[in-house]
Amino acid sequence: MDMERKKPFIKIDEELLHKTVASVMVRDDIRVIWNYHDKKLLKEIVYMIKAVDEDKLDVPHIRNCDMLMARLLNISKIQYMQIKYTYGTSLCFLCKLSKKQWMSVKGIGTKKADYLVDFFQNGWQ
């Protein structure tokens, strides 16, 4: 795609543009600041939206945050859901959980609890 064109060679579908921005705002919980005066940025956004619409560019449509967190922690989704309902999702609070608290989740033993405590205190490597 040529981003340097003076005039876009496609017709801008304003409705599609607004729907896409609204979708990003709602689906991904992202605040969007739109500058209608930045023509280069506007052209790039339109080209990207057109590429997604024509299946030339893949953008995930559904993100399951619980599944992503379970994968990050290397535990099952069921285990993560138990943690979520028992202790919440605040990373600040999860960082303070003890080995015993992690082991209270069905299927999390000593090794996994040690891993989780280390993960939340030192990060991943």
Whole-prediction pTM: 0.49
Look at residues 112, 91, 94, 95 and name the one whose alpha carbon lies nearest to residue 103: 112
Look at residues 74, 81, 86 and name the one whose alpha carbon lies nearest to residue 111: 74
| Angle separating helix axes 65-73 and 77-87, nearest 10 degrees | 100
Domain residue limits, the chain:
1-63, 65-122
Structure tokens at 24: 């990003």
In this prediction, residue 99 carries a pLDDT of 93
- What number does CATH give the domain 65-122? 1.10.150
Tens-binned pLDDT, residue by residue, of the chain (125 aa): 445 555 556 666 766 776 777 677 666 666 666 666 677 777 777 777 777 677 766 655 556 778 878 888 889 889 999 999 998 888 788 888 999 999 999 999 999 999 999 988 887 55
Which residue bears the tokens 């290397």?
74
In this prediction, residue 114 carries a pLDDT of 93
- Cα 29 to Cα 38: distance, rounded to the nearest angstrom: 23
